[in-house]
Amino acid sequence: MDTIRPRKNRKKQYIVLLILFFLSIGFLIYHLATKPKILNVSAKELLIKEVKNDVFQDFMILQAQAVPLESMLINIVEGGSVQELFTENGAMVEKGMPLARLYNPNTEFNFLSQETAIIEQMNNLNVAKLSLRNQELVLSKDLIAMEHDFNQTQLEYQLNQTLFQKQILAKNEWEQTQEKYRYQRERKTLLQESLNREKHSNQLQLEQINKALNIMQKSLETLRENKKNFLVLAPVSGRLSSFEAILGQTYLAGTSIGKVDEMKGYKLMANIDEFYLEKIQQNQKGQMEIKGNNVEVSITKIIPAVKNGQFKAELNFTGSPPTGLQEGSSFSIRLSLSSDKNSVVLPKGNFYTATKGKWIFVVKGNKAVKRTIKLGRENPDYYEIITGLQPGEKVIVSNYEDYMNIDQLNIEP
């Protein structure tokens, strides 16, 4: 009789095998993920430089142009089209010399209308002034006539008084004489007071009219002077530059059509990358070469407004300015940013474009291994090393564009 054996439970074995399978997969993935990525490259493709301990000169090279020390813009006061040109760009001009004539019919008509209106108002005021003087003349004539009548009456009064006292003149006639004298006396007083008030009032009106006439006269003179603004004059003596006026071209009021450079010497203007804005200070020294001679310059003004990623700085010669400078001439200036000191330095190269100075390939034998570094200051030739490299080590400074995800380079002959 057969014996029935119970079936073995293999569930635990399957779980163990499954765990071992996943562990193997995980180990394989970890190994592949942590395995250094290696690339074989030819030595001819690489530029290798040595890290060294040297004097680090913190300087920069900037481009500057010669510009006149003093210039004055030529601005259009009254807009219009260019009707005449009397000179050309680059000519030497004297202060007040005509440069161009503009014409604007609308403005010309407005000038004429304003001039006519002012003259008409002045005529009206002069008529009013004449009228006041005529009134005074009439009152003066009345006063003269009145004084004549009063004097006649006064003589008659004195004569009749004597006759009455001698009892030659009747009482009623003496009383009529007294009344007539009283009337003339009071009439004279009232007329004199009226004339005085009229003269005072007229005097005030005349003063106001004269003030108004003076103001209108000045306005008329100013208006006539403004009509001369169609003639563009040289503001100062010097050399005309950037003068590009064209016959028939229309310019708005306030537009600059050129400048006059006063021939008092030259300075230098440089456009500098905004990266150096905090590193540039007034009185920083620099050197430039002119006709084989080194000339020292210094920064005299910083214009911090950044435009298109650059700001402006003005430089001047520390000694006598060199001869033969021409406006617009360009010069390379070596500008010192700080004093020199010994540092670990690395020659510049294209690697920085890809790594931003955060890592580099260090060469050991026929291999190059990626290493983290930290850079400090820089000049046109070197980077200053803060950490990560030692003097004597060799590094690859050529382009890293193809090695961004590589950990090690095998250098082949």
How far is the C-alpha of 274 from the C-alpha of 308, rounded, in Å?
Answer: 9
Query: Residue 356: pLDDT above 60?
Result: yes
Mean pLDDT across 295-314: 91
% of the chain at pLDDT higher than 70: 92
How far is the C-alpha of 199 from the C-alpha of 210, rounded, in Å?
Answer: 16
Looking at residue 14, what is its pLDDT?
64
Looking at residue 50, what is its pLDDT?
92
How far is the C-alpha of 370 from the C-alpha of 154, rounded, in Å?
Answer: 134
Residue type, 134: N
pLDDT in tens, 323-346: 778 888 888 898 888 777 888 999
Query: Residue 1: pLDDT above 50?
Result: no
Query: Residue 51: pLDDT above 90?
Result: yes
Query: Residue 8: pLDDT above 80?
Result: no
List the structure tokens of 72: 């004055």
Mean pLDDT over all residues of the chain? 84
Yes or no: say if 258 and 241 are a contact pair by the CB < 8 Å rule: yes
- Whole-model pTM above 0.75? no
Residue 131 main-chain phi, psi, to 5 deg = -65, -40
Sign of CA dihedral 273, 274, 276, 281: positive
Question: Among 33-42, 128-137, 215-224, 298-307, which is the least confidently predicted range?
Answer: 33-42
Mean pLDDT across 176-183: 86
% of the chain at pLDDT higher than 90: 16
List the structure tokens of 25: 């997969």
How far is the C-alpha of 31 from the C-alpha of 33, rounded, in Å?
Answer: 5
> At 347, is the pLDDT very low, low, confident or very high (cuts 50, 70, 90)?
very high
What angle in degrees, to the nearest 10, is found between the helix axes of 105-165 and 171-227? Answer: 170
Yes or no: say if 73 and 394 are a contact pair by the CB < 8 Å rule: no
Query: Residue 12: pLDDT above 70?
Result: no
Question: How many other CB atoms are found less than 10 A from the CB of residue 169?
Answer: 16
Residue type, 241: S
**CATH no. for 38-58+341-412:** 2.40.420.20
> At 6, is the pLDDT very low, low, confident or very high (cuts 50, 70, 90)?
low
Residue 225: how many CA atoms within 13 Å on its side-chain side? 6
Listed residue (283, 149, 343, 118) closest to 215, CA to CA: 118
List the structure tokens of 18: 């499954």
How far is the C-alpha of 156 from the C-alpha of 136, rounded, in Å?
Answer: 30
Fold entry, domain 61-97+241-336: Elongation Factor Tu (Ef-tu); domain 3 (2.40.30)
Looking at residue 172, what is its pLDDT?
85
Query: Residue 17: pLDDT above 80?
Result: no
Query: Residue 20: pLDDT above 50?
Result: yes
List the structure tokens of 359: 């890592």
Ranges assigned E (strand) in 212-309:
231-233, 238-241, 250-251, 256-273, 285-290, 293-307
Looking at residue 372, what is its pLDDT?
92
How far is the C-alpha of 168 from the C-alpha of 215, rounded, in Å?
Answer: 69
> At 9, is the pLDDT very low, low, confident or very high (cuts 50, 70, 90)?
low
Looking at residue 270, what is its pLDDT?
92
How far is the C-alpha of 394 from the C-alpha of 285, rounded, in Å?
Answer: 34
Looking at residue 229, what is its pLDDT?
82
Query: Residue 79: pLDDT above 70?
Result: yes
Run of H or E residues at 215: helix 171-227
Tokens 């000519």 locate to 91
pLDDT in tens, 182-227: 888 888 888 888 878 888 888 888 888 888 889 888 888 887 787 7
Strand 359-364 and strand 341-347: pairing? Answer: unpaired
How far is the C-alpha of 244 from the C-alpha of 137, rounded, in Å?
Answer: 65
